[in-house]
Amino acid sequence: MTPFRTPLSALRGVVASHPSALVIKQAHITDDGLCYSEVCYSQFEKDIEATASYWVAAFSAVGIYEGSIIGVWLKGTSYDDLLHIWGISRAGYIPQLISLRMTDPSVTLELLSKAGAAALIHDPSLTTALQDTELPSFPAHGMRSICGSKGSKERMLGAVPNELSGDQVVMIFHTSGSTSGAPKLVPITARWMDCQIQKTSTFIKAYPTLRAMVKIALHVMTLPSSEGFLSLTIAYGDLPLDPSDEAWAWGHGLHLINSFGSTEVGIILVSHDAKGAALVPLSPSAYEFVPFDNDENAQEYLVEMVVPPESPNCPHPTLRDKDGKFHTGDLFLEIAPGQYVYRGRDDDWIKMEMALRCDAKAIEDDALQHRGDDLIHAVVAIGTGRPQPVIIVEPKDEIALQSKEKERDLRCQVLKRITPFHRRRYKHESIDDTNFIRIVPQWSLPRGSKGNSRRRQVEKEFEQVLDEMFKVKQELGGYL
């Protein structure tokens, strides 16, 4: 079998070559305030071994053995949390990581049930919420409590596996559910993990400044006046920066590196250290950029990123489409051969009447950008299959809902603010009348776990409203 690397085997290699190198600064609150203790790689490995030994003893006592799936519901922000996650893996179990932001125990237990988890390690703060669950649950105490407990017994651990099947599941993640409406399991294979380790090492090696930033942290209040800081490279990801923030950064000499990825695929694309650089794929992955349902009137010809099964970071087969590939749903504009600019997800676009397409995300971004913090609390653009889009607005001040006159006034103000943007767009993607602006109470729009509104659910809720609106328009022979 191929020697696929895992975090454990990678750690073993670093310990052998750089045992005294600093890996973590662990924060402590003392009488003198916040202080840090340094942890080197060799100590980190010893702590993982001790944690793994503890969990082998604890699980064996209740008939849970190597190869079982163990849910891990922790904050993931402390050194102890890190040891529990690595320790479970070192003990030969498969960690199923659950975000502590998922506050509903029923959703967590559903994910654990779907994965076939044998037990759950949880943050101590969740003990009461989980007291009635049938799944064996263990509070994740700190290392000092574990190593100092009277009943703790060290168990001999086997060697770290050097050879794994590429399809062997070594960990399980889950998505936020903001797109699909419910979190889904993301099994992580040995091949996938090896690919991420290779990508990360390549990415970090390419940027010496970034390596230094990993080791050095300055208090944020000292940064604005520091010329040294203003010459640093700043890496960011997950969400695109606001264009005005990005322009400010470049204008002040900050060198930005953008990385793009997802839970299912990992790190996908990165930008070069150059102003306005596009995103480029990271090796050793292989991607396909296929045309995304473009129409002849489109202002931009978009492509969707698709991950073929031969790519080492192609997700687990349970996540792939019928063609055997993983369709990310992420859309890009190719500005030069092999160079891309992110243009949102496929559900950020509305397919209008006559199959014309409209960038709903751009409409929302513009409305929020020009609200001046006094008009709009949240906004969603909808209108699938309609002649024109409609925006559903949660007002900043709910006084607008006190009377029809005040609501009409708000709609007029919003239209005035967004008109400069919409007058430059095609008819099928513009809002040119107050009747295409609807006002609803704050927090009434359905939201995902990340706080973003779910367009498809909003479309469904307002289906009858839009049916009536465009029926009247058709009867009148024109727009309202």
HEC secondary structure over 344-378: EEHHHEEECHHHCEEEHHHHHHHHHHCCCCCCEEE
Indicate whether 118 belongs to any domain: yes
Indicate whether 199 belongs to any domain: no
311 and 373 housed in the same domain:
no
pLDDT reported for residue 214:
42
Local mean pLDDT, 10-residue blocks, the chain (480 residues): 83 94 87 90 95 94 96 92 96 93 83 97 93 94 68 70 86 76 87 91 56 40 49 70 78 83 91 71 90 66 94 96 94 91 83 81 87 83 93 93 94 94 84 95 80 79 91 61
423 and 290 housed in the same domain:
no
Task: Assign residue 227 the CATH number of its domain.
Answer: 3.40.50.12780
Taking the C-alpha atoms of residue 114 and residue 452, their distance in angstroms, rounded to an integer, is 26
Task: Assign residue 117 the CATH number of its domain.
Answer: 3.40.50.980
344 and 364 housed in the same domain:
no
Indicate whether 200 belongs to any domain: no
End-of-domain residue from the set 164, 194, 224: 194
pLDDT reported for residue 408:
96
pLDDT reported for residue 233:
72
Task: Write the DSSP assignment of 416-474 as a string of letters.
Answer: HHHHHHHTTS-GGG---SGGGEEE--TT-S-B-TTS-B-HHHHHHHTHHHHHHHHHHHH
Q: What is the CA 192 to chain-centroid distance, rounded?
A: 17
Give CA separation, 33 vs 28, 29, 269, in Å: 8, 6, 41
Rg (CA), the chain: 26
End-of-domain residue from the set 163, 194, 225: 194
Query: Which residues form the domain of 378?
Result: 352-476
pLDDT reported for residue 170:
96
Q: Is 267 within 8 Å of 199 (Cβ atoms)?
A: yes
End-of-domain residue from the set 287, 318, 348: 348
Taking the C-alpha atoms of residue 181 and residue 192, their distance in angstroms, rounded to an integer, is 25
Taking the C-alpha atoms of residue 5 and residue 189, their distance in angstroms, rounded to an integer, is 11
Instruction: Sheet with 69-74: list strands edge to edge.
Output: 137-139, 119-122, 69-74, 94-99, 169-174, 185-189
Residues 6+ away with beta carbon under 8 Å from 420: none
361 and 341 housed in the same domain:
no
pLDDT reported for residue 480:
44
Strand partners, 382: 390
60 and 76 housed in the same domain:
yes
Indicate whether 201 belongs to any domain: no
282 and 428 housed in the same domain:
no
Q: Which helix or strand (DSSP H or E) is residue 288 part of?
A: strand 288-291
Q: Per the structure, how many domains does the chain have?
A: 3
Indicate whether 316 belongs to any domain: yes
Indicate whether 404 belongs to any domain: yes
Q: Is 459 within 8 Å of 411 (Cβ atoms)?
A: no
Indicate whether 54 belongs to any domain: yes
Indicate whether 2 belongs to any domain: no
pLDDT reported for residue 225:
46
162 and 100 housed in the same domain:
yes
320 and 357 housed in the same domain:
no
